[in-house]
């Protein structure tokens, strides 16, 4: 098989895995707030860092 064939197979496999992860994680998210706070599983430090970075991106 040529190198282009392996690249195509790799990309298709990668995309399939990403779609599967997205589908499985979407079943765990109940509403928008649950998505924003990551199901409250991040911990306080990571939540504050993410919130601060988000606010910085919005206001810059």
pLDDT of 57: 53
Residue 53 CA to residue 49 CA, distance in Å, equals: 6
pLDDT of 27: 82
pLDDT of 26: 79
For residues 15-54, one letter each, b for 16 or more C-beta atoms within 10 angstroms of the residue's C-beta and e for the rest, the string is eeeeeeeeeeeeeeeeeeeeeeeeeeeeeeeeeeeeeeee
Residue 7 CA to residue 5 CA, distance in Å, equals: 5
Tokens representing 25 are 């994680």
Q: pLDDT tens for residues 5-60?
A: 999 999 999 999 999 988 887 787 777 766 666 666 666 666 666 666 655 555 54
pLDDT of 35: 67
């Amino acid at each position: 098989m040529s190198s282009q064939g392996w690249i195509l197979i790799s990309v298709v496999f990668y995309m399939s895995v990403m779609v599967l992860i997205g589908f499985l994680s979407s079943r765990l998210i109940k509403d928008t707030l649950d998505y924003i706070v990551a199901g409250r599983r991040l911990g306080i430090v990571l939540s504050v860092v993410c919130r601060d970075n988000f606010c910085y991106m919005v206001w810059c």
